[in-house]
Amino acid sequence: MSVTGFIILAIIIVILVYAVLLYNNLVSLKNNVAKAWANIDVLLKQRHDELPKLVETCKQYMGYEQQTLEKVMQARAAVQQARESGNVAALGPAEAQLRSMIGNLYAVAEAYPQLKANESFQQLQARITGLENSIADRREFYNDSVNVFNIRTEQFPDSIIAGNFGFKQAHLLEFSNAEKQDVNVKALFG
């Protein structure tokens, strides 16, 4: 084999090694997105499991506030459905509705001093609030992971590998401006 042959072989090997490295990096980024979604999923499941306990505790004190409790459970079911199907687009509105209903529940609970003083209610409220904060952190991490992955799949030369091996853009977890607003507690009592 001539020197030219060795140079061509070396160039081909370098290109192949570079392509493998790009592919492996894209696989790693894709799996980071999946891991970030799984982290959100775990927290949503934990909150999903805690909400019936909170509703049951409230039922003992809030007999005639059944509509509020039912709305919390309906919103919980919508989040569960979006979570189980992996539907990122549906999860945003469902999450916003559930957060709103939990806010309504807490606001209504203000009218029940015995409920507010109940140790079980206080623990569940603290646990759910902690889960909400953790979910918000995980959403941010998920969106960061999606952003890095999407950028890499669009950049040259990664886009060539991504296109040839079927890497698809991941979807950000987004919320509308209305869904991002705080619950208007004053309107609940007005």
61 within 8 A of 110, measured Cβ to Cβ: no
The domain ranges of the chain are 3-189
Residue 150: predicted pLDDT: 93
Provide the pLDDT confidence category of residue 118 given band limits of 50, 70 and 90: confident
User: In CATH, what number does 3-189 get?
Assistant: 1.20.1440.20
170 within 8 A of 161, measured Cβ to Cβ: no
In tens, the pLDDT along 135-146 reads 888 989 999 999
Q: What is the pTM of this model?
A: 0.71
Tokens of 123: 């623990």
Tokens of 176: 């509308």
Q: In terms of C-beta density within 10 A (0-12 exposed, 13-18 middle, 19 or more buried), how is residue 49 classed?
A: exposed
Measured CA distances, 189 to 108, 125, 172 (Å):
8, 20, 35
Provide the pLDDT confidence category of residue 147 given band limits of 50, 70 and 90: very high
In tens, the pLDDT along 19-55 reads 999 999 999 999 999 999 888 888 888 888 888 888 8
Residue 122: predicted pLDDT: 83
Residue 45: predicted pLDDT: 87
Residue 55: predicted pLDDT: 82
Q: Which amino acid is at 85?
A: S
Per the listing, tokens 């020197």 go with 3
